Amino acid sequence: MDSIHIHGGIALQGQVRIQGSKNAALPILAAALLTAERSYIRNCPRIADVHAMVSLLRRLGCHVSWREDGLQVDSAQVSLGSMQGEAVKGMRSSLCLLGALLGRCGEAVLEHPGGCVIGERPIDLHLWALEQMGVVFSEEKGMIRGVAEGLHGARIALPLPSVGATENIILAGVLAEGDTCVTGAAREPEITALCRYLQNCGASIEGIGTDRLRIRGGCRLRGAEYHVPADRIVAGTYLMACIGTGGCVLLKGAPAGEMEAVLKAASQMGASCWVSEEGICIQASGCPKPVERLVTLPYPGFPTDLQSVALAVLAASGGRSIVEERIFENRFRVAGELNRMGACIEQVDAHMVVVHGAGRLCGAEVEAKELRGGAALVIAGLMAQGETKVTGCPYIYRGYENICKDFRELGARIASV
């Protein structure tokens, strides 16, 4: 199903349950390599990226099977192999297998990982950090090989809070000899989820949720059960859709404690949000309000993964907004497609756009070029008058379990074709 067809202009109403977190599930599945036992990862989203990770784990010798409410991973028979093919090229999160394989096998060989085209996203920081732990890297014909004859702990001061580099350090550190101390670590909830799973497996990690982590290496890890938390980015996407279309929506299970910056932005856009035991309820009506300046920042700031969907909503606001991207340098690719729908988005440079709110959007045929930009186009279609066709939808399915079904449950007229 390569396209999504939307008849827009319908206010969303009702409730929808938020799926498990993509960004938490993928490194946790990589961490299951470290145990040599069976783990049960509940609430794994059934999305393209998880299916690709399952394929990679199977290539490495894991027995992986879907159960009713999650994935069972038995990594007892893991053998070092070369992870080649389109699965690695198309999914940057395969890079977290690097730290896990170095911890389990002392060696890893993989193709240069890919992912969405949202900036250069160099992996130098990952390699540099692992080199501090005794890994020697070489590159030949597009392949990266890392060897650690004696993986050891280290003191690592990250110059910027890279989520992926922090995950790789943790994954390598739990089985390394000695302690690893990390300063400048990323604080994203997905890092916390990875650490909690590893703690369930018997790892000793201190400073969880802060930018200073201490990983005590050398612990024998066992298999464990873990429930993947709800996806804050999916929740934020549906929240923005409610603001853009108007209406009242309950996001069941949404992780409100991880979404303070998003809820603040929603309030600035004119929505009323309140938190209950069930999740987050959003009520919005009329044209979204512009915001003076929306800036993406590392957690707990406004997430870069929601910048595109916020841009779509602000494009239909009644005034001028500035959106500043401080994480990636190429995350405004969706602006051109939104402009085809009647938006007026002026790009100042690689990190800033000025949005002159058009008050309304019009249906058009547009193309998704990356995951979150694709979700933004779906939201734009829900807001727009008339028919919208979004192509390039395999990008969207990498992160959203069933975006069309979810929006249909909220009253939208939308279908995958």
Catalytically active residues, by annotation? 116
Q: Which helix (H) or strand (E) holds 238?
A: helix 232-245
Query: Is residue 205 helix, strand or coil?
Result: strand
For residues 284, 285, 291, 296, the Cα torsion angle rounded to the nearest 10 degrees is: 30
Query: Is residue 312 helix, strand or coil?
Result: helix
How far apart CA 249 and CA 246 sit, in angstroms, is 9
- Sign of the C-alpha dihedral computed for residues 82, 84, 87 and 91 taken in this order: positive
What token pair was written down for 178?
């000695």
How far apart CA 197 and CA 187 sit, in angstroms, is 16
Written as one letter, the residue type at 400 is Y
User: Which residue, 256, 276, 277, is CA-closest to 266?
Assistant: 256
What is the β-pairing status of strands 272-275 and 279-284?
Answer: antiparallel
What is the β-pairing status of strands 345-349 and 352-356?
Answer: antiparallel
Asked if 73 contacts 100 with a C-beta cutoff of 8 angstroms, the reply is no
What is the β-pairing status of strands 155-157 and 179-183?
Answer: parallel
**DSSP 8-state symbol, 92:** G
User: Which residue, 378, 397, 391, is CA-closest to 51?
Assistant: 397
How far apart CA 303 and CA 1 sit, in angstroms, is 28
Give 260-310 as a DSSP string.
HHHHHHHHHTT-EEEE-SSEEEEEE-SSPPP-S-EEB-STTSB-GGGHHHH
How far apart CA 412 and CA 394 sit, in angstroms, is 21
Rg (CA), the chain: 21
Asked if 253 contacts 17 with a C-beta cutoff of 8 angstroms, the reply is yes
CB half-sphere exposure, 314, CA atoms < 13 A: 28
**DSSP 8-state symbol, 231:** -
